[in-house]
């Protein structure tokens, strides 16, 4: 299926997608305030939050970009580009998880939709793992 949007318009739309300081990250950042988590620490895998003293990393995964089992819908256009890209993201997630798990860290992955709709549940899960 051909893209219904011009190449220029698609480029404009994609340029507005943020890699950091996304809405879910900022909501979780506010909830974790005072818990000594560092936001976007410069460590392997670029987790969204880390608490080095307790060896905990948190990744906030976007439902589309990381293939959420609940929300993900396969792209209808430009499949040759999107499907491998998203699959590569999922593989990279596993690689980062394995890296931290092998070193004794606790890896917490939360979905964007969970943060947006049920931040209480997400924060309970995080604090109960400490």
Indicate if the pLDDT at residue 28 is higher than 90.
yes
Which domains are present in the chain? 23-128 (3.40.960.10)
* Tens-place pLDDT, residues 36-86: 999 999 999 999 999 999 999 999 999 998 999 999 988 888 888 889 999
Rg (CA), the chain: 16
Q: What is the pLDDT of residue 6?
A: 77
Structure tokens at 52: 């080095």
Characterize 18-45 residue by residue with b for buried, 16 or more Cβ atoms within 10 angstroms of its Cβ, and e for exposed. Answer: eeeebebbebbbebbeeeebebeeeeee
Residue 122, classed as helix, strand or coil, is helix
Report pTM. Answer: 0.84
d(CA 63, CA 72): 6
Chain-centroid distance of CA 15 in Å reads 18
pLDDT band for 130, please (50, 70, 90 cuts).
confident
């Amino acid at each position: 299926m051909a893209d219904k949007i011009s190449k220029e318009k698609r480029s404009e739309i994609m340029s507005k997608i943020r890699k950091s300081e996304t809405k879910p990250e900022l909501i979780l950042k506010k909830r974790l305030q005072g818990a000594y988590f560092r936001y976007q620490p410069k460590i392997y895998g670029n987790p969204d939050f880390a608490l080095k003293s307790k060896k905990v990393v948190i990744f906030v995964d976007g439902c589309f970009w990381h293939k959420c089992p609940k929300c993900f819908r396969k792209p209808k256009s430009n499949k040759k580009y999107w499907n491998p890209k998203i699959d590569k993201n999922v593989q990279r997630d596993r690689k980062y998880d394995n890296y931290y798990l092998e070193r004794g860290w606790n890896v917490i992955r939360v979905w964007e939709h969970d943060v947006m709709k049920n931040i209480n549940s997400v924060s309970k899960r995080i604090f109960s793992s400490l």
